[in-house]
């Protein structure tokens, strides 16, 4: 039994995952906002303790950047952790056990390759479009880490070089700055979007009209014009970035997970249009783009895979 942890800007999750990649028990908590380092750690520890007995290893997926593989984390979307020794803290709690850490989007890519839509595919990019935009790169059937563990970080490919929105990395026009959920909802609100109005009448969304990417996706599916425009904006940015990635890496498959991947045609239609417009080389035209198959469990399955499939 592996203890798997999935840590992001919106939520933290911990689970038991068996050697076949099945998630057996999961605990979740909201990531404390504007919290200091120890408050964040205590929240995570509260999820870990009920699952600590009997595990044979610990796998961690966490937002980046981080110092890898030592695991001092500084997630852009968790400002309370800067150079926080996450792997060392967990190694101290589980002495003698393997403790592995990687970027949360890399873990999603691992999960999809091992147990999801990428099974049997040798060359793929697994993406997450949620609070942030990240990715993990698998070539020749093996995870590619890169010199600092950041290979596949597609969120910082520039898709709007002239006048694009500022990004948390300090640049402008990055894919993440355009397509991440909070950026899209802010863009839509500025253009008159009222969360939940369109989707409520179709029975698609009933969460107190929350301002979330999920709400925006539901309203787009229900035909809200502003929500549809936001999805077109995100889809085109994703398509441009994916075209660049497949020309560089000669990919067979890209899988997209995270909250916005639930938008369906309003997102994937413009994505495919932009991809086919920009992926003009013959080898790039074979690329398939699919929604991730494992849903919310992907990050946990991938975190466990860091330990269970270490030889790959």
φ/ψ of 136, rounded to 5, equals: -135, 140
pTM of the model: 0.88
Confidence check: pLDDT of 285 > 60? yes
> In 3D, which of 201, 202, 218 has the Cα closest to residue 210?
218
**Alpha-carbon separation of residue 203 from 214, 223, 224 (angstroms):** 14, 13, 14
* Band of residue 197 on the pLDDT scale cut at 50, 70, 90: confident
Q: What is the pLDDT of residues 101-148, one digit of tens each?
A: 999 999 999 999 999 999 999 999 999 998 889 999 999 999 999 998
Structural domains of the chain ordered from first start: 2-108+297-308 (3.30.420.40), 120-293 (3.30.420.40)
Pairing assessment for the beta strands 11-17 and 142-144 based on DSSP bridges: unpaired
Q: What is the mean pLDDT of the chain?
A: 92
Q: What is the pLDDT of residues 1-56, one digit of tens each?
A: 999 999 988 889 999 999 999 999 999 999 999 999 999 999 999 999 999 999 99
Residue 311: its pLDDT value, please? 62
Give yes or no for a cis peptide into 216 (omega within 30° of 0): no
Q: What is the pLDDT of residues 69-104, one digit of tens each?
A: 999 999 988 999 999 999 999 999 999 999 999 999
């Amino acid at each position: 039994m592996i203890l798997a942890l999935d840590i992001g800007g919106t939520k933290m999750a911990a689970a038991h995952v068996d050697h076949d990649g099945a998630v057996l028990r999961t605990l979740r908590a909201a990531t404390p906002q504007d919290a200091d380092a120890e408050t964040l750690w205590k929240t995570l520890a509260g999820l870990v303790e009920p699952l600590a007995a009997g595990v044979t290893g610990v796998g961690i997926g966490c937002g980046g950047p981080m110092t890898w593989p030592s695991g001092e984390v500084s997630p852009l979307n968790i400002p309370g952790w800067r150079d926080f020794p996450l792997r060392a803290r967990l190694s101290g709690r589980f002495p003698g056990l393997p403790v592995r850490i990687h970027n949360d989007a890399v873990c999603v890519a691992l999960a999809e390759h091992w147990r999801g839509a990428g099974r049997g595919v040798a060359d793929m990019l697994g993406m997450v479009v949620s609070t942030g935009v990240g990715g993990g790169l698998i070539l020749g059937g093996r995870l590619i880490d890169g010199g600092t563990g950041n290979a596949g970080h597609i969120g910082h490919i520039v898709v709007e070089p002239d006048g694009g929105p500022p990004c948390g990395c300090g640049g402008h026009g990055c894919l993440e700055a355009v397509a991440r959920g909070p950026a899209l909802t802010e863009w839509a609100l500025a253009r008159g979007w009222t969360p939940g109005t369109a989707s409520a009448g179709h029975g698609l969304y009933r969460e107190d009209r929350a301002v979330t990417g999920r709400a925006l996706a539901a309203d787009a599916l229900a035909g809200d014009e502003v929500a549809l425009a936001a999805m077109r904006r995100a889809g085109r940015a994703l398509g441009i970035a994916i075209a660049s990635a497949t020309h560089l890496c000669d990919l067979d498959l890209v899988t997209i997970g995270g909250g916005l991947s639930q938008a369906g045609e309003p997102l994937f239609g413009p994505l495919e249009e932009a991809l086919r417009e920009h992926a003009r080389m013959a080898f790039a035209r074979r690329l398939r783009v699919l929604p991730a198959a494992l849903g919310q469990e992907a990050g946990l399955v991938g975190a466990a895979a860091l330990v269970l499939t270490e030889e790959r």
